[in-house]
Amino acid sequence: MTQDAFEDLLAANRDYAETFELGGFDGVAHAGVAMVTCMDSRIDPLRMVGLRPGDAKIFRNPGGRVTPQALEALVLGVHLLNVHRILVVPHTRCAMASATLAELRERVGESAGQDASWQSFGVVTDQKAALAEDVRSVRSHPLIPDTVAVGGFLYDVDTGLLDPVA
Ligand SMILES: [Zn+2]
């Protein structure tokens, strides 16, 4: 392993552990919240809704899409981890919604110096329509009961505001 690449992070982790206060925590979502959002580094999923570690289950992927794995996480969250509110949160200026599949493959291919046309990317052409569809697929999942509140929100990475969409 290239240990050097992680040195600063491991040093920071030792500092973190010195004042670690989350030990002995259980894994349930104390605020009853689960969020599906993008991997984008501009998103701070807990703080953007006033939550802290221990409060919510967070599932992230490119685009913040409700994929089969996201549904798997939500079903577990609802039945085993105290989740009763689900937010689906894509965001403005997302790479997955501003490039075509061909463009992404071309850019990755250039970076990799080899063909990337076989790589799948979940690009989105209409972000609000995709969000509505994703929210529908959570609401209509047979293992997610109607008592669970499900909302779709577009996060604005320039203002920090959540815009209710679905
Ligand atoms: Zn994104």
Q: What is the CA(68)–ligand 1 centre distance, in A?
A: 18
Q: What is the CA(71)–ligand 1 centre distance, in A?
A: 19
pLDDT in tens, the chain (166 residues): 667 999 999 999 999 999 998 888 888 999 999 999 999 999 999 999 999 999 999 999 999 999 999 999 999 999 999 999 999 999 999 999 999 999 999 999 999 999 999 999 999 999 999 999 999 999 999 999 999 999 999 999 999 999 999 9
Q: What is the CA(102)–ligand 1 centre distance, in A?
A: 17
Could you tell me the pTM of the whole model? 0.94
Q: What is the CA(152)–ligand 1 centre distance, in A?
A: 15
Count of alpha carbons within 13 angstroms of residue 87, beta-carbon side: 24
Residue type, 76: L
Q: What is the CA(98)–ligand 1 centre distance, in A?
A: 9
Q: What is the CA(14)–ligand 1 centre distance, in A?
A: 30
Query: Any idea which residue has 């577009």 for tokens?
Result: 154
Q: What is the CA(125)–ligand 1 centre distance, in A?
A: 13
